[in-house]
Structure 1
Amino acid sequence: MVNRVTVLGSLNVDNIMQIKRLPLPGETMTMSAKQIAGGGKGANQAIAAARSGAITAFIGKVGEDEQGRLMKKYLTEANIDTSSVTLAAQETGQAFILLQESGENSILVLGGANQAITNDDIEQAKDKISEADFLITQFETPLETAITAFKYAKENDVVTILNPAPAKRVPEELLKNVDLIVLNETETELLTEIKITGEDSWSTAAEKLAQLGVKNTIITLGSKGAYYKTTTAEGFISAFKVNAIDTTAAGDTFLGALSSQLHHDLSNIEEAIVYASMASALAVQKLGAIPSIPEVDEVNNALGGADF
């Protein structure tokens, strides 16, 4: 069965600036190269889901500008339904990525049209939510629209997946309608006030999230792997060992790929995490966000010869 995934999220044009290291205060440095690519957490996650075979729809906004047309083109080329991607008076969102030689990155985001999404837009896109198996959102769009969309999703038996990034406090009104939360170590620490130091802390943090109302958790741990805890299972999946060139879309690729494979009851969460981990491992070996996200055949072929 093919999953139907709807993403409420951001559409950004990424300006990638390749540098040796981060500059010190007051220091002027030269860049070794600069590229422009499609991105935004929402777009990355949607394209990752679509390229892994999910029937995908997007709820978002772009400006009436060249960047907006470019972002819609990226979605359309991935066979994503863009009928709920509408125009805003603001310019299309942009991200400025400082990519170091180590593969690590620092990102500055200009929200632009992404911040113009309103509850009226959610109302107009209700059919895209109710028809989905999974609804995904992040925090690069207004929080109130996430609350509205997740409430409607739960009324229609749609599984909700929250990626609380960029990291911020999550209101109880949203948490109570989250079925699965996927977050990294920084986001986990902010939300639970538990320092992530090892296996015991992963489990303790997941228990804290359950107390807050989220019963199913995946904590992504970068090059180490991913920890998961649901109402019926708990475990850790090691990451695939690769030489990372650009980690910009690693987490987004993981989440989108995950949503394409998960069963509605999350019963295959371990297998879905293995698939998502491989998709992410492939993505970090290429430059750029959207250009690096693999197709389903590429992931399955890599899994055929994978070492854990």
Structure 2
Amino acid sequence: MVNRVMILGSINVDSIYQVTRFPQPGETIAVKQKSYAPGGKGANQAVAAARSGAKVSFVGAVGADNDGQEMVKTLAENNVDTSRIAVDPDNGTGSAVITVDENGQNDIMVYGGANQAMSVAQLNDLEQELAGTDFIVAQLETPQEVTLAAFKLARQQNVITILNPAPATELLPELLEYTDIIIPNETESSLLTGISVNDEPSMLQNAKFFKAHGIKNTIITLGEQGVFYVTADGHHGLVPAFKVNPVDTTAAGDTFIGALSSQLSPNLGNFESAITYAQRASSLAVQGMGAMPSIPLAEEVEKALG
């Protein structure tokens, strides 16, 4: 069965600077290499889901510029339905400046542009598409008010809602009530709950916090430590990471979430196997440069899983 996944999210063009190390405040350093790549958390997650076999549609916005045209074209070439991507005449296509050091670590500066100018009006008639959808996935690079409205429509259609609270910021309380699965990394989870993530008891406390606010399923990504999950019935576990030598970790989380949405059963009965697949996809992505270009195809993931 092919999962039908709707992504509500950001579309960016990434400028990537490779450096030996990050500069100190006020310091000028040399850049070893500069490149451009399609990106944005939403776009990355959509491509990850599509490359792992899901039928993917996208709700988002780009500017009336060349970057916007190229991004829509890139998504379409990756088998993503782009019919609900709006063209904003007043704001430019989103962009990000990404600095990557020799250890594969990165820091990122993002210009929201058309992503942040999205409005609830863009969701007109969305319920018709949601009626044939298994999952809707959103992040925090587009307005929370738009995500909340979409999640409310999804709930009416019994569509599973997945929230990736990145970049971490204060959430609308009502948005939590309409989220079925939350997928933060350990830093984002700690910021949202006020509970440091450092061991299993603290992760269970984080999941308890989210459940108290309406979210029944929690998945916390822990980088090289793996992924911790807690399901609605209280089942929990740690799925270890695959050990690799990372080149660029930019797309790690987005690849994980997109791949997970392609594999997770709509009845949520296969958390561990879906997480294992998504972990393997993420481990392949961090071994290549650039966000979207490094996202693997399903056959590559299956081969790596053996």
Q: Does 2:246 match 1:251? A: no
Code of the residue aligned with 1:137 in structure 2: it is A
CA offset digits 1:137-177 (Å, max 9, x no partner): 00000110001000000010000000000001112210001
> Which of 287, 290, 294 in structure 2 is aligned with 1:288?
290
Q: Distance in 2 between matches of 1:3 and 1:55?
A: 6
CA offset digits 1:260-308 (Å, max 9, x no partner): 001112110000000000000000000001100000000000000xxxx
Q: Distance in 1 between matches of 2:256 and 2:273?
A: 13
Check the 8 A contact 2:127/2:157 in 1, yes or no: no
Check the 8 A contact 1:282/1:293 in 2, yes or no: yes
Cα shift at 1:74: 1.4
Code of the residue aligned with 1:2 in structure 2: it is V
Q: Which runs of 4+ in 1 moved over 3 A?
A: none
Code of the residue aligned with 1:92 in structure 2: it is T
Code of the residue aligned with 1:165 in structure 2: it is A
Q: Distance in 1 between matches of 2:129 and 2:52?
A: 19
Tell me what 1:113 maps to: 114
Tell me what 1:86 maps to: 86
Tell me what 2:219 maps to: 218
CA offset digits 1:101-127 (Å, max 9, x no partner): 110000000001111211110124333
CA offset digits 1:169-192 (Å, max 9, x no partner): 112210001000001011101111
Q: Distance in 1 between matches of 2:13 and 2:33?
A: 17
Q: Distance in 2 between matches of 1:110 and 1:62?
A: 12
Secondary structure of 2:187 counterpart: helix
Q: Does 2:272 match 1:270? A: yes
Code of the residue aligned with 2:43 in structure 1: it is A
Tell me what 1:32 maps to: 32
Code of the residue aligned with 1:111 in structure 2: it is G
Map residues 175-254 of structure 1 onto 2, 5 A cutoff. 175-232=176-233, 233-254=235-256
Secondary structure of 1:16 counterpart: strand
Check the 8 A contact 1:84/1:125 in 2, yes or no: no
Code of the residue aligned with 1:57 in structure 2: it is S
Q: Distance in 2 between matches of 1:21 and 1:111?
A: 26
Tell me what 1:62 maps to: 62
Secondary structure of 1:244 counterpart: coil
Q: Distance in 1 between matches of 2:81 and 2:12?
A: 17
Q: Distance in 1 between matches of 2:50 and 2:127?
A: 20
Q: Distance in 1 between matches of 2:199 and 2:19?
A: 32
The size of the alignment, in residue pairs, is 304
Check the 8 A contact 2:19/2:102 in 1, yes or no: yes
Q: Distance in 1 between matches of 2:266 and 2:201?
A: 28
Code of the residue aligned with 1:139 in structure 2: it is L
Check the 8 A contact 1:244/1:284 in 2, yes or no: yes
Code of the residue aligned with 1:66 in structure 2: it is N
Check the 8 A contact 1:59/1:125 in 2, yes or no: no
Code of the residue aligned with 1:149 in structure 2: it is A
Code of the residue aligned with 1:138 in structure 2: it is Q
Secondary structure of 1:116 counterpart: coil
Identity of aligned pairs, percent?
52
Segments of structure 2 that go 5 or more residues without pairing to the other structure are none
Map residues 127-166 of structure 1 onto 2, 5 A cutoff. 127-166=128-167
Check the 8 A contact 2:239/2:276 in 1, yes or no: yes
CA offset digits 1:47-92 (Å, max 9, x no partner): 0000000000000001111111111111111111000001002110
Secondary structure of 1:96 counterpart: strand
Code of the residue aligned with 2:238 in structure 1: it is F
Check the 8 A contact 1:18/1:32 in 2, yes or no: yes
Tell me what 1:126 maps to: 127
Q: Distance in 1 between matches of 2:144 and 2:269?
A: 29
Map residues 292-303 of structure 1 onto 2, 5 A cutoff. 292-303=294-305
Cα shift at 1:225: 0.2
Q: Does 2:164 match 1:167? A: no
CA offset digits 1:196-245 (Å, max 9, x no partner): 11111111111111111111000000011000000232111000000000
Q: Distance in 1 between matches of 2:217 and 2:59?
A: 24
Code of the residue aligned with 1:194 in structure 2: it is I
